[in-house]
Amino acid sequence: MSSNPDPYSTLGVSRAAPQDEIKKKYRALARELHPDTGGDPEKLKTVNAAYGMVGDVEKRKLFDEFGHDAFRPGFDANQARAYKQRFEGFGGGGGGGGLDMDDILSMFGGGGGRRGGGFARGPRRGGDRNATLTISLHETLNGSERTFRLGGSATVKVRIPKGARSGQRLKVAGKGQPGQDGGPAGDLFLEVQVGDHPLVRVDRDDLEMDLPITFVESLRGGTIEVPTPTGAVKVRIPAHAPAGTRMRLKGRGLPPGGRGTRQGDLYLVLRPTPPPASEADVDAALEALEAAYADQDVRAELRFDP
């Protein structure tokens, strides 16, 4: 029997969980355990391995039927089914001395084959590889092509689709573990993580960035030109805008990148910025402003009655 952890338990879902629930749970765990957010990389590897078994519909069917043995190198589901049927046809399914999956695998390549009339050893598919690919905000906004190092000097080119999101998995066919005895290679699965940007925050489909404005702009308002990740845009600042005001720029967020995603928006958070202390006439300007508002008590409502 396999001592590997049950993928359903690892992901925290029931065996009857729908596929979208498994995907949602995996994405949440991947974000929580990612090293960039202070997570545990070893636990993340275990979660990735579990999702590799039950995150895909066809692979999930194999796991539900054969367990972890379905992911051993050289495993062939059709041969396994045929052998089980043949064995059970001879009464192997009724007693306590039946063969387990190790016995079945030994018949056709899992243990070197059987001499004298067993199954012949045939081509065996290589195992899949799983890895994490961190991409930039620019890459998820525009798409790109990257060279990914497989190990040593081996590399592979990976196409990053426009709108790729954190948690999305990219498949590179035939770039997994090599096959044996002429069998095909496995596939490479890359989990996308969008890296942090010094100016822009990603919130699912939307983007958010702080917008510094002068004290005069915050009081009088006006139209200013703002550089954004998708190009410069003119923005109308409302007069007397308080710090923290969020302004929405529709359609300036992440582009659609797959099922469940949409064209996002960009939110500008207004941050009034004091003038530098060395600026000429700052003190005089502040004194004039203080005199103009000498009667204003901005903390009049800030009191605690006994």
User: pLDDT digits over 227-252, tens only?
Assistant: 999 999 999 999 988 899 999 999 99
Q: DSSP letters along 72-107, please?
A: STT--HHHHHHHHHHHHHTTTTTSS----HHHHHHH
pLDDT tens-digit series, residues 28-44: 898 888 877 777 888 88
pLDDT at residue number 112: 44
Percent of the chain exceeding pLDDT 90 equals: 29
Q: Which domains does the chain have, with CATH numbers?
A: 125-196 (2.60.260.20), 200-292 (2.60.260.20)
Averaged pLDDT for residues 140-151? 88
Q: What share of the chain in percent tops pLDDT 70?
A: 82
**What number of other Cβ atoms are within 10 A of residue 37's Cβ?**
11
Look at residue 277 and tell me whether its pLDDT is greater than 60: yes
**H-helix segments, the chain:** 7-11, 19-33, 41-54, 57-66, 77-89, 101-107, 137-142, 215-220, 282-292
- For residue 219, pLDDT over 90 is answered with no
Query: Is residue 29 a contact partner of residue 47, using CB atoms and an 8 Å limit?
Result: yes
In this predicted structure, what is the pLDDT of residue 160? Answer: 92
Model pTM score: 0.53
Would the pLDDT of 115 be above 70? no
